[in-house]
Amino acid sequence: MADLSKLERDLAALERDSTLHSDDNLTARFEALTTLDFLGEAFQIQAGRRPAATGLRRVQALQGELDARNQALFRNLRTGIRTDKVTPRQLRTLLNGNCRYRRGDRACMHWGAEAADALAAGLFRSDCPPLEWDGGEEEMIHYESTPVSAVLELVDRVPLTRGDRFVDIGSGLGQVVFLVNLLTGVEATGLEVVPAYVERARGEAERLGIAGVSFCEGDARSADLCGGTVFFLFSPFRGQMLQTVLSRLRHEACMRRLTICSFGPCTEQIAGESWLTLREAEMNHEFRLAIFHS
């Protein structure tokens, strides 16, 4: 059981830290909120003791203040995106400042939540699915947001041009599609089988005034693949379902050169495709971004 005096000292240190209330200190707030979650759970375990009950109320109060500061930041950024006052360079600089990935870092492992992920979730509401995951088909994998750092690496390593169409297969609530379009200006499409997710993503695109994105409802095994030239898969499914989609992509590759970007467990299966060439050796690790060319 945690020492109450130690919990009290840790909480008091956060309460005294005025820098947590600065708009540009998102990483520190993210780390503080993570610590507050732990402190809250620890105080709750000992809630029968008066000091613990008081500590829990203080934790909740500080969480509310920091959450409110984040929400204000997100509102300002959404307004900036809607009015074109937030440029791609400004957005990239903000994301860079809140994640450990740096341009050219081939050894970066994309795992563990970072402040940049909280930022993207706040911008696009991509951390709150409109309905509970029902399990889908056996080979489907539950919804989870792609780490922002992996998207930053993707736009760094794939030379996207205005002639490209980026397609996220299993796009969920659209976070990858939004980021790719906002950072590069390339037309980006999300293909998603869950209608409620598609509806949410379309609504966010309209609210943010992002014209260069689209979201299509459909099963990737049979749906239109949207004329994509660059496809991204964050392990939306596995097994035969993934194999069927890869076979469809192979057929598409007979008509135009494709780039396939993958992240997560699906990379191992994709690496076994003879029609694809891994751009860089030893990148087929589930916590690294793998890039293949047809």
Q: Buried b vs exposed e over 117-143: b needs ≥16 C-beta within 10 Å?
A: bbbbbbbbbbeebeeeeeeeeeebbeb
User: For residue 1, what pLDDT is reported?
Assistant: 55
* Residue 81 sits in the same domain as residue 104: no
Tell me how far apart the alpha carbons of residues 144 and 126 are, in angstroms, rounded to a whole number: 9
How many separate domains does the chain show? 2
Phi, psi for 158 (deg, rounded to 5) = -105, 115
pTM of the model: 0.93
* Residue 148 sits in the same domain as residue 205: yes
Tell me how far apart the alpha carbons of residues 171 and 126 are, in angstroms, rounded to a whole number: 11
User: For residue 38, what pLDDT is reported?
Assistant: 94
Digit-by-digit pLDDT tens for the chain (294 residues) are 568 888 999 999 999 999 999 988 999 999 999 999 999 999 888 877 778 889 999 999 999 999 999 999 999 999 999 999 999 999 999 999 999 999 988 888 999 999 999 999 999 999 888 887 777 788 988 889 999 999 999 999 999 999 999 999 999 999 999 999 999 999 999 999 999 999 999 999 999 999 999 999 999 999 999 899 999 999 999 999 999 999 999 999 999 999 999 999 999 999 999 999 998 766 677 889 999 999
Among 49, 71, 86, the domain-final residue is 86
* Residue 49 sits in the same domain as residue 65: yes
* Residue 133 sits in the same domain as residue 46: no
Closest C-alpha to 34, from 4, 56, 59, 2: 59
Are 217 and 181 within 8 A, CB to CB?
no
* Residue 148 sits in the same domain as residue 269: yes
The conformation of residue 20, written as its DSSP 8-state character, comes to G
Segments forming the whole domain that contains residue 281: 92-293
